[in-house]
């Protein structure tokens, strides 16, 4: 079980390690409370166990995943998330922006795939949505918005995981994005 509430990644090299699509698939599962072996991770990501082991060790190097307790016979060496959630914050440097953009691009591609793969007759289709708003905010208001969005997501998360959630629930991806637009000539 994860001991920390949130893991914050700021190092551009660690963020770059997150950008690989197979790694994001596994990270999503581990940060959703699952404890998985390299073989199970490989099946999820469509890789060989040896390739997945390489990816898991790379993520371990940056503290993004960690080894869980071994099985009783010592044959299985599962992996887990070191925290309940993962936050990426590294836009202050050129390397940080490039790494964040690569990771964000992969995450957005995954969300687009979810929209594309949803069946037309899925009874949950009515809650699928994408909203885009343009807001004029001060820096302080933007910081407040980011915190309120995180608090809202945390409120609904309620400690639920892939292995611990009430009957009748379904996994839902919630993607919150706040990004300043480039300076506009008419802006202040």
Report pLDDT digits (tens) over 112-153. 888 888 888 888 888 888 888 889 999 999 999 989 998 998
CATH class of 4-111+131-157: mainly alpha
Sign, CA torsion 125/122/44/80? positive
Domain boundaries, the chain: 4-111+131-157
pLDDT > 70? residue 188: no
Tell me the two tokens of residue 154.
């945390």
Rg (CA), the chain: 18
Is pTM beyond 0.95 here?
A: no
């Amino acid at each position: 079980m994860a001991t920390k509430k949130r893991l914050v990644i700021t190092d551009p090299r660690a963020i770059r390690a997150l950008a690989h699509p197979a790694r994001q698939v596994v990270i999503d599962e581990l940060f959703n409370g699952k404890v998985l072996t390299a073989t199970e991770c490989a099946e999820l990501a469509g890789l060989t166990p040896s390739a997945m082991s390489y990816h898991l060790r790379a993520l371990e190097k940056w503290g993004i995943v960690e080894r869980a307790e071994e099985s009783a016979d010592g044959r299985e060496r599962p992996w887990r998330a070191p925290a309940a959630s993962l936050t990426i914050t590294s836009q202050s440097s050129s390397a940080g922006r490039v790494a964040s953009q690569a990771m964000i691009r992969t995450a957005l591609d995954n969300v687009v795939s979810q929209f594309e793969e949803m069946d037309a007759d899925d009874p949950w289709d009515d809650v699928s949505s994408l909203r885009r708003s343009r807001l004029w905010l001060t820096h302080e208001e933007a910081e407040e918005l980011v915190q309120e969005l995180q608090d809202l997501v945390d409120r609904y998360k309620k400690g639920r995981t892939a292995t611990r959630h009430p009957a009748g629930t379904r996994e839902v991806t919630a993607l919150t994005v706040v990004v300043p637009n480039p300076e506009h000539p008419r802006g202040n």
